[in-house]
């Protein structure tokens, strides 16, 4: 798969320091990120463990999507650098990066009147050239991506006419067709109902089991705890905790990250941490209690 030349090009000091200090293929060092005059994060170091399903969580505006976009090279850092296999991302040819690292942006918009098969095929762009526009590998990759996301039957449908859940699977198929070993997903479950959220995350978990490194931004902390192998919690543009969800998620962390007081119990299904917000006194002491029918 990898066509990257390992260690090609001259090494700078920053790269040397970087390679010494990290194990993962993808990392960010002293990242200062922002938009024009707004700085979102400053001097942030982040490492994505290889083969992990890393999930970034945090309150709205904490910088998690900004960080993901920087890791995907969709946002140029104002300071610091993102490293892929020891080389600064900005120093690598765009297509070479695109064969290693894929992004599913937040709320992607399909061109008008595009079919599912056509959209998925566009994920093959980094493997193609102006005068070699299609190969056997492209055929295989598109077919496999559509099979893995169960969208084969939708191949000839227009993307505009699909439901939200179907559409998200099609976008995942596009990212899959790109055949990158690292996939970055920016809120892949937004606007989906709970069943489709689980559907998409199950699919992500399958992709992770297949050997890919996944990095996702998720809003739902409970789902994040259930699916992530590595959780990165952010607040105010800084990483406040990272590690396995079971190791790091406690009431104090949720209070710090979301400003929410809660109790943490074990998810009865998976044993992972489950956040139960505490009831505020102002809402009254005795809400209706769910009546569980007695067993007869």
For binding to other proteins (CB under 8 A), which residues are involved? 1, 3, 36, 69, 72-74, 93-99, 101-105, 108-115, 117-118, 121-123, 125-126, 130-142, 144, 147-148, 155-156, 178-181, 184, 206-207, 209-212
Q: Least distance from C-beta 83 to other proteins, angstroms?
A: 16
- Of 77 and 105, which has the nearer Cβ to other proteins? 105
- Count Cβ atoms within 10 A of the Cβ of residue 63 and give its class: 0-12 exposed, 13-18 middle, 19 or more buried: buried
Kindly list the distances between the CA atom of residue 149 and the CA atoms of 153, 159, 169, in Å, as whole numbers in the listed order: 11, 15, 6
Rg of the chain over CA atoms, in angstroms?
A: 21
Residue with tokens 């789902």: 223
- Of 133 and 163, which has the nearer Cβ to other proteins? 133
Q: Least distance from C-beta 55 to other proteins, angstroms?
A: 19
DSSP assigned state of 158: B
Residue with tokens 């070699």: 132
Cα–Cα distance for residue pair 15/18, rounded to 1 Å: 5
Cα–Cα distance for residue pair 191/4, rounded to 1 Å: 36
- Of 206 and 255, which has the nearer Cβ to other proteins? 206
Q: Least distance from C-beta 215 to other proteins, angstroms?
A: 13
- Of 72 and 235, which has the nearer Cβ to other proteins? 72
Q: Least distance from C-beta 164 to other proteins, angstroms?
A: 17
Q: Least distance from C-beta 30 to other proteins, angstroms?
A: 22
Cα–Cα distance for residue pair 149/38, rounded to 1 Å: 38
- Of 136 and 280, which has the nearer Cβ to other proteins? 136
């Amino acid at each position: 798969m990898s066509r990257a030349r390992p260690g090609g090009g001259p090494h700078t000091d920053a790269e040397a320091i970087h390679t010494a200090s990290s194990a993962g293929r993808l990392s960010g060092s002293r990242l200062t990120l922002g938009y024009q005059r707004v700085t979102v994060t400053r001097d942030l170091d982040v490492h994505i463990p290889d083969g992990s399903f890393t999930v970034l969580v945090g309150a709205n505006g904490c910088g998690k999507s900004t960080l993901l976009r920087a890791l995907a090279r969709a946002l140029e850092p104002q300071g610091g650098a993102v490293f892929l296999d020891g080389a600064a991302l900005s120093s690598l040819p765009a297509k070479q990066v695109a064969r290693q690292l894929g992004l599913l942006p937040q709320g992607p918009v399909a061109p008008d009147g595009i079919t599912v098969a056509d959209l998925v095929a566009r994920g093959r762009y980094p493997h193609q050239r102006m005068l070699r526009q299609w190969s056997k590998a492209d055929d295989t990759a598109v077919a496999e991506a559509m099979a893995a996301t169960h969208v084969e039957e939708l191949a000839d449908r227009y993307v505009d006419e699909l439901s939200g859940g179907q559409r998200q699977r099609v976008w995942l198929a596009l990212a899959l067709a790109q055949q990158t070993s690292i996939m970055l997903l920016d809120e892949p479950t937004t606007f989906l109902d709970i069943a489709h959220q689980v559907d998409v995350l199950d699919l992500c978990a399958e992709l992770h089991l297949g050997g890919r490194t996944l990095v996702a931004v998720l809003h739902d902390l409970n789902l994040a705890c259930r699916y992530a192998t590595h959780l990165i919690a952010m607040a105010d543009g800084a990483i406040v905790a990272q590690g396995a969800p079971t190791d790091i998620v406690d009431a104090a962390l949720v209070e710090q990250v979301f400003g929410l007081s809660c109790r943490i119990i074990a998810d009865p299904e998976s044993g992972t941490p489950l956040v139960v917000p505490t009831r505020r006194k102002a809402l009254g002491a005795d809400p209706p209690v769910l009546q569980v029918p007695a067993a007869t």
